[in-house]
Structure 1
Amino acid sequence: MKSFLSRIVTPLLVSPLLILSAAVQAEYETVFLDLAASSEMSHFRLGLGDTSRGIDGDKVTSMFYLGYYQSDDVTKFENQNLGNQKTEIITLGVGGFGYLENHEEEGGAEFDFELSKSTSEALDYDRTAFGMRAQIFLPMAAGLQANIGVNLRPFFLSQDWDETANLEYEYQAGIEYAFNWDMAIYAHYRYLGAYLKNDDKINMAEGTLFGLRARF
């Protein structure tokens, strides 16, 4: 387990050049795809990287990815309803995604570091920030797993660029069915919000997403 976690977190701690040099020892090159949509929101991520097996049998993909999130949900500022407002987030990330050898019993995880550009029609919200993204996969039965994830974009990682918010955050929870190491379908509840500089809270979107995650 320790080796598995260190291999996932490694891309967050080393430079892209070190990741690329390590790719020489990779088992195979990988395309990572994550697509999801609902009436409230949608998102996609497209990643390129390398997948290798660890000494403990785990299967981890180190990758760079481009992501896009869009919603047209009801936005709330404190207790005030601002109506449907468009929100968009563009991300450029680097991270690691993988499962343990016996993924149906032991699960897996993903950890990423992202540069993001967030905009919302509500209050003319426009923010550029660095952030950290993580999710874990917890086995429940054969192929069935629970998902818990969080994405944090705090002020201290963007203070030189932006003073719009103290914290922008997302969290998610849901159920997934993994057909194998490389493909899963899921239903996630997701919430997106922020605490502005005066500590006022803005709720930009929330809802349930249905999606597909795969690596080839």
Structure 2
Amino acid sequence: MHNRIESEHYLYTPRIYVHKRPLHWFIMFISYLFIFLLVLESVALLVLGAWHLTIPRLENVLSFSSEIYRRELGFGILLVIIGSLGIIASIIGIIALITSRILLLKIYASCLWLFMLLGIAIGIIGIIFASQVSDFLANDKKNNPNLVESNYYQERFLLGMNGGLTLLMSVTILVGIIILHCLISDTSSRSYIRSK
């Protein structure tokens, strides 16, 4: 009889009702909202990267500066890589939230840290590339006094804007990391209570 009751205790998993754990469900809701934001940011970075890599655009940049062309190409590839990483992190996040496994939540947190740090680095690279355009303009003007300066100004603006945008989007990941750590603490405490 005692063995049967004990086995039923291990087989039965009590449901978590909203009115009993409102904070847990609020954190879960915010976590899913954050994943939605992460997907939007990742898609935006993929689109920006693809736009930097479009052939007509690269041909236009190459026509007035091969140095800027290389930077445009590199920056576009970096944006596509970070956007792809964000999509992978979103998939891991959805699986981690559905299963509520602490190990998966920690892996998801590590992915977010990696995404944020890479995004900050890529954003800074974009801003640095934008600041170098003026130097290329000065050098190219010595060789060709009739060049169109507006192309350089446009390129400087686009690289700077997209670099700044990448930097800003990456910093917002910190909010998700804080939310995720709250969820990990909540899940750990719940697991500890159940084990007692």
TM range (shorter): under 0.3
Q: Which has the higher helix share?
A: 2
Q: If the length of structure 2 is used for normalisation, what is the TM-score?
A: 0.20
Tell me which structure has the larger Cα radius of gyration. Answer: 2
Q: If the length of structure 1 is used for normalisation, what is the TM-score?
A: 0.19
Q: Which has the higher strand share?
A: 1
**Which of the pair has the greater relative contact order for Cα pairs under 8 Å at 6+ separation?**
2
